[in-house]
Amino acid sequence: MIDLSRYQGIIFDMDGTLVDSMGVHVEAWQVTCREFGYPFDREYHHSLGGVPTAETAVLLNKRYGCKHDPYVVAAFKKKVFDELEDLPALIEDTHIIFQRYIGSKPISVGTGSDRAHATWLLSQHNLLDPLHALVTSDDVAKGKPHPDTFLLAAKKMGIAPENCVVFEDTEMGRQAAVNAGMACIMVINGQVQTGL
């Protein structure tokens, strides 16, 4: 078990870190890209994990020279996601850590998902009630890689950023943690990387 005793607070990303839902998100983006005429790049979409959906649409417009309304794209992608979704499984490595430290340290989730989806998904796995804070794309003006999501989670826990550790599965999320002045432990293919 990884030792987090040096940290006062723990922040988990949700999709791809606590819950194995990234595959469904990428699949929904594949359908959305086809609908709006964006080339589909699986690796690129996975790298954008944690970026709010409308912001992802802005990035796609810029990357491919399109002018689609980001909120129209986001609404379509959400509809596709909701239709595709079965309940994603928990990621065992991070769930063990979550269970180990719940009650002894404040724990938050900082996600690029919207509040309705995050609340539903975390509730399905009984992870919502134990949280000190849930910060979603609805709570911040700028998503990952900006630090706002994690800074707000730290503020809600009442802990200085430098005393928090973040668990993340994407480079965008890692950048957000670093930009927030926090340590970051990566979760790659469901495995917690212990070389911190």
Dihedrals phi, psi of 56, to nearest 5 degrees? -60, -40
Residue-level pLDDT at 21: 82
Q: What is the pLDDT along the chain (196 residues), one digit of tens a residue?
A: 788 999 999 999 999 999 988 788 888 999 999 999 999 999 898 888 778 899 999 999 999 999 999 999 999 998 998 887 677 889 999 999 999 999 999 999 999 988 988 999 999 899 999 999 999 999 999 999 999 999 999 999 999 999 999 999 999 999 999 999 999 999 998 899 986 4
Half-sphere exposure of 7 (CA within 13 A, CB side): 24
- The pTM score is 0.82
Cβ count within 10 A of residue 192: 19
Give the number of other Cβ atoms within 10 Å of residue 89's Cβ.
12
Query: What pLDDT score does 24 carry?
Result: 84
First-last CA distance in the chain: 13
Provide the residue type at 131 as one letter.
L
Catalytic residues: 13
CATH 3.40.50.1980 for domain 22-84: no
Domain positions in the chain are 9-21+88-192, 22-84
The confidence score (pLDDT) of residue 85 equals 63
* pLDDT for the residue 25: 85
Homologous superfamily assigned to 9-21+88-192: HAD superfamily/HAD-like (3.40.50.1000)
